[in-house]
Amino acid sequence: MLIDYHSALRLVLKHSSHLGAEVANIEDALGSFLAQDVIALADLPRFTSSAVDGYGVKIADLINVDDKNPAALKLVGEIKAGDSSKIKIQRGECLRILTGAPIPSGVDAVVMKEFTKQDEIIISFYTSANLGDNFRNKGEEFRKGKIILEKYTQINPAVVGLLASLGIKKIRIHKKPRVAVLVTGNELVEIGKKLKFGQIYDSNFYSLSSSLKQMDIDIINLGIAKDNKVELLKKVRLGLKISDLLLVSGGISVGEYDYVQEIFDKLKIKKIFWRIAIKPGKPTYFGTIGKKLIFGLPGNPVASLLIFNQIVKPAIRKMMGEIKHQPIILFAKLDEELKKRSGRLELVRGILREDSKSEIIVAPTKRQGSHMLGGMIDANCLIYFPMDKSVLKKGSIVKVVLMK
Ligand code: AMP
Ligand code: MG
């Protein structure tokens, strides 16, 4: 009856589709995925320049030169970054040239300042040079007309910088989904209000909306619904209307008052799966209406956050234009024996570190209960405790997925 995690993820990704494109300023596009190829409108670098502070020379003047047999050349001028002077040098002459300054014709190498000594207008060189030494050559990184960034590339700070260096101000990106969040439960109270005995504060809205904020996604807050069919129907219907992806927390398990799935059915949501062989997070529901995605997340705070990370986030990234889901997976030596019943993949919150012998070690955090957010505070990874295993021995090599 339970679907395994990898099949669940595959189904979710299969039903997630890229949203349309929009134009954004490059400084607002961080984290988005390109909806166009970017072509170099010019060579990069645009002109040949010096990579160091030093002296422009003719290499013929420095043949057989070393620290015991220096050569002396006459300093005839200076070029700084931003200068466009066209000074020329003749044999026996050199030119002071600073990092980023264009190389004038006639200069066929730059010698680093560190290998020279200055005495008035005479510069002594303690090294020979090869043609093109310390040049940044025009077009060496990208040639004009070539594709330098492919469609579906995620925009990181380096991409933003590269776009700027090409003089590009606006770019086509995939739209991000509008995500609506509804939390459910009679026991839930909004922070700021007084609790009566038996009540708890809603924390799932805050952990889920923070996760969405990290992805720079706009959130529609549908508030807290009681475990009441009329109220649930109204809020879920509204959520479906105004979002591309709806997250409903709680009420999706097998309890007497877990009405969420019944409401989903009533609203003609097509169920793709319900209940994953995973711990925490078993009661997870996934369904669709057209291109809209609907997730029923378990109410337990840790489960809700982990299922967001492991299932919902890949779906959102796909909608945003990602073409391949690639979690960062590594292998580490387990520092403590782990036990469980077989039958579900367990995601153990872990701390990954390098020990004094440069070995990568992983240990579970304290507080592994699915209601214990405290166990996630120090966690920087999840240890995959495979479905069919019941023991992971101390010292064994385990698969770990990074969370940060
Ligand atoms: P449920 O999935 O509705 O059966 O809830 C499972 C557990 O998670 C119960 O102990 C709930 O009180 C708790 N829970 C549900 N929703 C939230 C929430 N939004 N914030 C904090 N705890 C919650
Ligand atoms: Mg509930």
Residues around the ion ligand 2 (C-beta < 5 A): 185, 250-251, 299
Q: pLDDT value at position 174? A: 98
Q: pLDDT value at position 80? A: 96
CATH class of the structural domain 329-402: mainly beta
Q: pLDDT value at position 332? A: 98
Per-residue pLDDT of the chain (404 residues; tens, 9 = 90+): 899 999 999 999 999 999 999 999 999 999 999 999 999 999 999 999 999 999 999 999 999 999 999 999 999 999 999 998 789 999 999 999 999 999 998 999 999 999 999 999 999 999 999 999 999 999 999 999 999 999 999 999 999 999 999 999 999 999 999 999 999 999 999 999 999 999 999 999 999 999 999 999 999 999 999 999 999 999 999 999 999 999 999 999 999 999 999 999 999 999 999 999 999 999 999 999 999 999 999 999 999 999 999 999 999 999 999 999 999 999 999 999 999 999 999 999 999 999 999 999 999 999 888 889 988 999 999 999 999 999 999 999 999 999 87
Q: Which fold has domain 49-136?
A: Molybdopterin biosynthesis moeA protein; domain 3 (2.170.190)
Distance 308 CA to ligand 2 centre (A): 18
Distance 299 CA to ligand 1 centre (A): 4
Q: By the 8 A CB rule, do 107 and 55 touch? A: no
362 Cβ closer than 6 Å to some ligand 1 atom: no
Cβ neighbour number for residue 146 with a 10 Å cutoff: 11
CATH class of the structural domain 5-19+176-319: alpha beta
DSSP state, residue 177: P
Instruction: Find where tokens 């995601």 sit.
Output: 347
Q: pLDDT value at position 404? A: 73
CATH 2.40.340.10 domain residues, the chain: 329-402
Atom of ligand 1 nearest to the CA of 183: 19
Which of 183, 189, 197, 200 for mutating ligand 1's site (highest number of atoms within 8 Å of CB)?
200
Q: What is the CA radius of gyration of the chain?
A: 30
Distance 186 CA to ligand 1 centre (A): 9
Beta strands in 133-262 (DSSP E): 135-136, 147-149, 170-174, 179-184, 188-189, 200-201, 219-225, 245-249
Distance 280 CA to ligand 2 centre (A): 16
d(CA 348, CA 369): 10
Q: How far is CA 6 from CA 184, 277, 315, 399, 401, in A?
A: 27, 10, 13, 15, 14
Atom of ligand 1 nearest to the CA of 283: 2
Cβ neighbour number for residue 99 with a 10 Å cutoff: 15
d(CA 139, CA 136): 9
* Domain 21-45+140-174 part of CATH 3.90.105.10: yes
Q: How far is CA 303 from CA 16, 123, 240, 375, in A?
A: 22, 70, 23, 12
CATH 3.40.980.10 domain residues, the chain: 5-19+176-319
Partners of residue 246 on adjacent β-strands: 180, 294
Which of 204, 206, 282 for mutating ligand 1's site (highest number of atoms within 8 Å of CB)?
204
Cβ neighbour number for residue 15 with a 10 Å cutoff: 17
Distance 378 CA to ligand 2 centre (A): 27
Atom of ligand 1 nearest to the CA of 202: 20
Atom of ligand 1 nearest to the CA of 303: 8
296 Cβ closer than 6 Å to some ligand 1 atom: no
Residue type, 264: F
Query: What ligand is nearest to the CA atom of residue 369?
Result: 1
Distance 386 CA to ligand 2 centre (A): 28
3-state secondary structure of 166: coil
Atom of ligand 1 nearest to the CA of 205: 19
Q: pLDDT value at position 369? A: 87
Distance 397 CA to ligand 1 centre (A): 34
CATH 2.170.190.11 domain residues, the chain: 49-136
Atom of ligand 1 nearest to the CA of 371: 8
State the pairing for strand pair 381-385/345-354. Answer: antiparallel
Distance 95 CA to ligand 2 centre (A): 77
Distance 190 CA to ligand 2 centre (A): 15
Query: What ligand is nearest to the CA atom of residue 181?
Result: 1
Query: What ligand is nearest to the CA atom of residue 255?
Result: 1
Distance 43 CA to ligand 1 centre (A): 57
Q: pLDDT value at position 257? A: 94
d(CA 60, CA 76): 17
Which of 189, 211, 249, 252 for mutating ligand 1's site (highest number of atoms within 8 Å of CB)?
249
134 Cβ closer than 6 Å to some ligand 1 atom: no
